[in-house]
């Protein structure tokens, strides 16, 4: 088999393939077996029909077509591997010559394939990437905020006889309708006024509403089968409550921690705040390094792949005719593809490998975000064929860590920030004195970005 590639544009190629009859023949022989097992011809057992009889009854062209259809994917994949291509999306095939239709055993199967491919990317030296991050500075306000969060965890709710206001907790019943037809109902919902986590317009409707009162408001539903539609929501309040916080004193310190005094607790909270700011600083550096790569490289993306993905997304939301949303999703899809291409290129250049412990760690973290048992989450991914996608995601995280490890990171005060803590897994940190040993870790591709609450 011979193949050649014509670059149509940076993200699309045309592959020309010539397959000699001799290489197509195994597929032709298999086609005779398949058809012979499907047809019933008097005087012959099923599966034992001679090729010449099949040619007479079914036709040689039908056999060749079956052989071509079955062999085409293998020939295409061989051409892709031979030319070191990384295809994306569905290939478009055009067959120009088919051998053997006249019964002879010569000639070539000739076809062309147009397919989108991952663009070639010339990566910069990582030390040419310079980013600036916020310095780590823990203030009394930061400690107060940490203490407030801790007090909130130990707070209690008490009913009050007054209209609801921002930050109050309410209990309510809800009925949603569209054009007078009820589409949803819920009872005894607990909600904090001003949280903004439910329906658009709900916080405004609740402000000033007292227990046993009912009000209605118009809203546009954001999810479900009625996403994008406008309807009316009726809410009836049954209770208004406020959260009462415990005093921040020594008794509270003993209740909420292992410390005896509030001063000791505040000292510990200051250390926690500092660690969180370190994590935030690392995440900020990581994001800025990625942004620098995206802006500097300006990687092209295949238009058809983008269009197909956008259509799938909009159809799943029933928002195909929403032009403004289409624009947003298109921009998001293009950015995601650029990010994927760049990080895949780094992973390839750094020969990144994903170990089983890394995959398990990421799987556990992802399952927690979905509120699922890790084993059930793993089974769901396996049954839906998403394991390779998971491996790819871990690989890209390690690739970004490799770029971050080589980049120059300074805070706004001009101090160089060491990113080693965010680019080296704890199990691979070198022990004291390792610099004097011949067994120091040298595999920079075994790096990951430390994570915080979401993607950090």
SS (H, E, C) 305-339: HHHHHHHHHHHHHCCCCCHHHHHHHHHHHHHHHHH
Distances (CA, A) of 275 to 81, 148, 269, 426: 47, 18, 10, 16
Cα separation, 332 vs 111, whole angstroms: 35
State the residue for tokens 């010559």: 97
Domain with CATH 3.10.50.40 in the chain: 156-244
Q: What is the DSSP letter of 385?
A: T
Counting every residue written for the chain, the total comes to 456
Cα separation, 421 vs 432, whole angstroms: 15
Q: Which CATH class is domain 156-244?
A: alpha beta
Cα separation, 347 vs 35, whole angstroms: 46
Q: What is the DSSP letter of 245?
A: P
Cα separation, 4 vs 339, whole angstroms: 29
Confidence at residue 73, expressed as pLDDT on a 0 to 100 scale: 94
Element spanning 204, H or E: helix 202-206
pTM of the model: 0.74
Cα–Cα nearest to 247, from 169, 155, 159? 155
* 362-387 exposure pattern, b = at least 16 Cβ within 10 A, e = fewer: bbeebbeeeeeeeeebbeebeeeeee
Fold of the 262-422 domain: Trigger factor, domain 2 (1.10.3120)
Confidence at residue 291, expressed as pLDDT on a 0 to 100 scale: 96
CATH architecture of the domain with residue range 2-116:
2-Layer Sandwich (3.30)
- In the numeric block, which tokens belong to residue 78? 């061989």
Confidence at residue 404, expressed as pLDDT on a 0 to 100 scale: 96
Confidence at residue 54, expressed as pLDDT on a 0 to 100 scale: 85
Domain with CATH 1.10.3120 in the chain: 262-422
Q: What is the DSSP letter of 266?
A: H
| Cβ 152 vs Cβ 245: under 8 Å | yes
Cα separation, 132 vs 416, whole angstroms: 9
Cα–Cα nearest to 254, from 132, 349, 182, 154? 154
Distances (CA, A) of 68 to 4, 60, 99: 20, 12, 10
Confidence at residue 425, expressed as pLDDT on a 0 to 100 scale: 63
| Cβ 212 vs Cβ 231: under 8 Å | no
* Strand stretches in 55-168, DSSP E: 87-97, 108-117, 130-133, 156-159
Cα separation, 306 vs 332, whole angstroms: 10
- Per-10-residue mean pLDDT of the chain, 456 residues long, equals 95 96 93 86 79 86 92 95 93 94 88 95 95 95 95 93 94 94 92 92 94 94 82 95 95 96 97 94 96 95 94 89 93 96 96 92 88 87 87 94 96 92 62 38 33 36
Confidence at residue 158, expressed as pLDDT on a 0 to 100 scale: 93
How many Cα atoms sit within 13 Å of 416 on the Cβ side? 7
């Amino acid at each position: 088999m011979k193949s050649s590639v014509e670059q149509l544009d940076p993200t699309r190629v045309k592959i020309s393939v010539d397959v000699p009859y001799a290489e197509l023949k195994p597929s032709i022989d298999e086609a005779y077996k398949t058809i012979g097992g499907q047809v019933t011809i008097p005087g012959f057992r099923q599966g034992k029909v001679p090729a010449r009889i099949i040619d007479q009854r079914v036709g040689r062209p039908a056999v060749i077509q079956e052989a071509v259809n079955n062999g085409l994917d293998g020939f295409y994949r061989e051409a892709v591997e031979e030319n070191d291509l990384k295809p994306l999306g569905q290939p478009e095939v055009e067959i120009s010559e088919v051998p053997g239709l006249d019964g002879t055993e010569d000639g070539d199967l000739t076809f062309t394939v147009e397919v989108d491919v991952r663009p070639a990317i010339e990566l910069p030296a990582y030390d040419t990437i310079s980013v600036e991050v916020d310095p780590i500075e823990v203030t009394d306000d930061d400690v107060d905020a940490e203490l407030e969060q801790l007090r909130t965890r130990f707070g209690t709710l008490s009913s009050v006889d007054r209209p609801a206001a921002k930050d109050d907790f309410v209990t309510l019943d809800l009925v949603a309708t569209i054009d007078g037809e009820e589409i949803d109902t819920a009872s005894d919902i607990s909600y904090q006024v001003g949280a903004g986590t439910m329906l658009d317009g709900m916080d405004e409707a609740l402000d000033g509403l007292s227990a046993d009162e009912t009000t209605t408001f118009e809203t546009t539903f954001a999810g479900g089968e009625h996403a994008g539609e406008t309807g009316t929501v009726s809410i009836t309040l049954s209770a208004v409550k406020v959260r009462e916080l415990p005093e921040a004193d020594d008794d509270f310190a003993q209740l909420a921690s292992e410390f005896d005094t509030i001063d000791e607790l505040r000292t510990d909270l200051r250390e926690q705040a500092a660690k969180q700011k370190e994590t935030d600083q690392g995440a900020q550096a990581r994001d800025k390094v990625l942004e620098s790569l995206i802006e500097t490289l300006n990687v092209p993306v295949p238009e058809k792949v983008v269009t197909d993905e956008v259509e799938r997304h909009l159809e799943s939301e029933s928002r195909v005719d929403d032009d403004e949303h289409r624009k947003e999703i298109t921009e998001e899809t293009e950015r995601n593809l650029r990010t994927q291409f760049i990080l895949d290129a780094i992973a390839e250049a750094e020969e990144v490998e994903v170990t089983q412990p890394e995959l398990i760690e990421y799987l556990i973290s992802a399952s927690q975000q979905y509120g699922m048992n890790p084993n059930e989450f793993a089974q769901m991914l396996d049954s839906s064929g998403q394991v390779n996608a998971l491996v790819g995601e871990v690989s890209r995280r390690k690739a970004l860590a490799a770029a971050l490890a080589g980049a120059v990171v300074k805070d706004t005060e001009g101090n160089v920030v060491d990113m080693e803590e965010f680019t080296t897994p704890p199990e691979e940190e070198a022990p004291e004195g390792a610099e004097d040993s011949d067994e120091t870790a040298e595999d920079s591709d075994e790096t990951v970005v430390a994570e915080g609450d979401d993607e950090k």
